[in-house]
């Protein structure tokens, strides 16, 4: 198959008219699929033109800009994720600190209350 693609279309020895190019694989598939009724819906994708792999020079600048923007977008997303993670860490730290302060205040309150109660008991026993 690759050999037929590389063959020239003009007969140099005979000097004759160029032979018609062989039908492309796409045309062959279209014809074979179109010959079968009910298969038309499956072959619609063959009618969509494929993107060429050869870079278009006029669009190279746009491709470069797209790649640059995609890179910047990915960087911004990563930066946002880092900011969110830092914020969550700060919230956890603040929450932990608040819980510690609450426990200290509760312990302090309990100690003050017990001390006052002990003082009252001592004063009552002295009278």
Q: Is residue 119 part of a domain?
A: yes
List pLDDT tens digits, range 28-37: 655 655 555 5
The model carries a pTM of 0.42
30, with CB counted inside 10 A (0-12, 13-18, 19+), is middle
Tally of structural domains, the chain:
1
Domain containing 91: what range?
84-127
Q: Is residue 102 part of a domain?
A: yes
Q: Is residue 28 part of a domain?
A: no
- What is the percent of the chain where pLDDT is above 70? 54
Q: Is residue 115 part of a domain?
A: yes
């Amino acid at each position: 198959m690759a050999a037929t693609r590389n063959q020239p279309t003009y007969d140099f020895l005979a000097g004759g008219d160029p032979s018609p190019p062989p039908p492309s694989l796409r045309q062959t598939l279209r014809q074979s699929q179109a010959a079968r009724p009910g298969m038309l819906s499956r072959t619609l994708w063959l009618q969509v033109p494929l993107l060429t792999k050869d870079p278009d020079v006029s669009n190279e600048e746009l491709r470069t800009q797209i790649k640059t923007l995609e890179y910047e977008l990915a960087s911004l997303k990563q930066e946002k994720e880092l900011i969110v993670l830092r914020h969550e860490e700060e919230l956890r730290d603040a929450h932990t600190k608040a819980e510690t302060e609450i426990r200290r205040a509760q312990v302090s309150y309990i100690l003050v209350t017990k001390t006052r109660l002990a003082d009252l008991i001592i004063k009552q026993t002295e009278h």
